[in-house]
Structure 1
Amino acid sequence: MKKLALLFVLASGLVFSQTKSLKVVSSKINWWGYKVAKTEASSHQGTIDLSSGTVILKNGQLAGGSFVLDMNSINATDLSGEYQTKLNNHLKNGDFFEVEKYPTGTFKMMLLRKNNKPDFNYIITGNLTLKGSTNAVTFPAKIEVKNGVLTLTSDKFTIDRQKWGVSYKSTMKDIVIKDDIDLQVTLSAK
């Protein structure tokens, strides 16, 4: 009889442990790339869109998530007209992201832990896949869940593009571009 009562208590606890999926309804990924030489055009910035994404809430708290990046959407926002088109095409072709071969990237959250900084209350670690290569990235983020809506805003964080094979195919030209790319993510899901 005690075993039956224990099973009932355990089963009841599972009912109250609620897990649900939320779809990403808006998102923005900002990027910054830099040249080694400090000139007027020593950096570029832009955006990449998510094509889809899902976050997992457990008992009202973020417990995981996975996201698909639309690499065809890469867009330099610091330029316009012909120069913007040239840079966008340059980033999409075989010199950098090879979007015809790798049209999407992915990010899957693997670990989420509390951070004692109020501006960025969590540290997120996940696997970022670009151009068929997967590497772990870690960054601070502010995460809030209110009325069934999750909002996430990351601090600016840095990745080394070489780890994903994102390199200018000409060795001489690749050394004038810094390996570091800065990223900053904002999204909401409901």
Structure 2
Amino acid sequence: MKNTVKIAMLLVLAITVASFSALKTKKVDVKTSQITWTGHKVTGQHDGTITLKDGSLEFNGKVLVGGEFTMDMTSINTTDLEGKSKVKLDGHLKADDFFGTDKYPTATLKFTKVEGGATDYTVTGDLTIKGITKPVTFNMTVAEGTAKAAFKIDRTKYDIKYGSASFFDDLQDKAIYNEFDLNVSLKF
């Protein structure tokens, strides 16, 4: 009886050690990874980039199980404009009525739940912008050292209400839609 209990305990210990040893954290290459955004308004849209400050993906074997990222919001950049128009919009996006980058220089995303396997996943995470944390859910594809996701963020949930028809009347063609698109390609 004592030998059976010892063998059972050793098996449980071996399985536990094996499951922890299969967990691997892979740093994301911030120089080759890319985050692009698109903001929509009644009269069109603007496009740009945000630099990833750091990030990592966690795998159990080859299966994605977690991730954590920090975006440098001071790097927010408009790519569809040039000259004075670009400088003006970039400055406005960094101002308090948008991302307030002097007070909130980073935004973070921490995965809280990952479902799926092989290459296709549904990820839920806590996204923090301007010190406000809200859950987001999106699809992510992971293959050949690259993780890709495209999703929408409702900026008003993060106290970014400038130009929102949900909060201001009579904006007409100056209204900016509440949701903006993020497209992410992470190399690891």
Q: Output the TM-score relative to the length of structure 1.
A: 0.85
State, as a whole percentage, how many aligned pairs show the same letter: 38
**Please, which of 30, 42, 61 is the counterpart of residue 36 of structure 2?**
30
How far is 1:169 from its partner?
7.7
Q: Which moved more, 1:84-93 or 1:13-22?
A: 13-22
Residue aligning to 1:185: 184
Counterpart in the other structure of 1:134: 133
- 1:22–1:54 CA contact under 8 A, matched in 2: yes
Partner of 1:44: 46
Aligned position for 1:58: 60
Pairing partner for 2:74 from 63, 72, 75: 72
Q: Give unmatched runs, 5+ long, in structure 1.
A: none
Task: Tell me which amino acid in the other structure corresponds to 2:126.
Answer: N
Q: Which runs of 5+ in 2 are unaligned?
A: none
Kept in 2: contact 1:96–1:169 (CA 8 A):
no
Which of 159, 164, 182 is 2:158 aligned to?
164
Q: Which piece of structure 1 moves more, 4-13 or 124-133?
A: 4-13
Q: Matches of 1:60 and 1:8 in 2, distance apart?
A: 26
Alignment of 1:46-125 (within 5 A): 46-114=48-116, 121-125=120-124
Query: How many residue pairs align between the two structures?
Result: 177
Q: How large is the RMSD of aligned CA atoms in angstroms?
A: 2.2
Question: Distance in 2 between the 1:44 and 1:152 partners?
Answer: 24
Q: Is the 8 A contact 1:52 1:68 kept in 2?
A: yes
Task: Return the TM-score normalized by structure 2.
Answer: 0.86
Equivalent-residue separation in structure 2 for 1:177 and 1:59 (angstroms):
43
* CA distance, structure 2, for counterparts of residue 141 and residue 20 of structure 1: 18
CA contact (8 A) 1:94 1:169 kept: no
> Would you say the 8 A contact 2:163–2:175 is kept in 1?
no
| Cα distance in 1 between the residues matched to 2:134 and 2:140 | 19
Distance 1:133 1:94 in 2: 14
